[in-house]
Amino acid sequence: MQLAGLAEELPDGRLAFVILTTEAAGPVARIHDRMPVVLPRERAQLWLARPDSGLLVPAPEDFLVATEVSRKVNDVKNDDPSVLAPAEPDEATPKPEQLALF
């Protein structure tokens, strides 16, 4: 997955960059009104050759898939592919209510 961004080398040699956003689409729209601009490979090449705001559009509705994952994803000490595995159903533990972002 490639994201649209802008970068600039600062006078001291450090690199400053931003990831560009657009209106949310697909499953992201259910939780937030903005999302990073996802560029398909052909659009990424166009963006690198000549940045054009016309390329900064929401991802197709079916591009991203929402998947409930293990709560292990909330702890940085868990740094392995298992954090992205689908959550195991646990009937004994009630599912916590989704909190609001703001």
* pLDDT value for 84: 81
- The Cβ-side half-sphere exposure at 80, using a 13 Å CA radius, reads 3
* Model confidence pLDDT, tens digit, residues 25-63: 888 888 899 999 999 888 999 999 998 999 999 888 888
Quick check: 13 pLDDT over 90? Answer: yes
Task: Report the predicted TM-score, pTM, of the whole model to 2 decimal places.
Answer: 0.66
Which secondary-structure segment (H or E) carries 19? strand 15-19
* pLDDT value for 17: 94
What sign has the CA pseudo-torsion 18, 20, 26, 28? positive
* Model confidence pLDDT, tens digit, residues 60-97: 888 888 877 877 888 889 898 888 887 776 644 555 66
Domains and CATH numbers, the chain: 2-84 (3.90.1680.10)
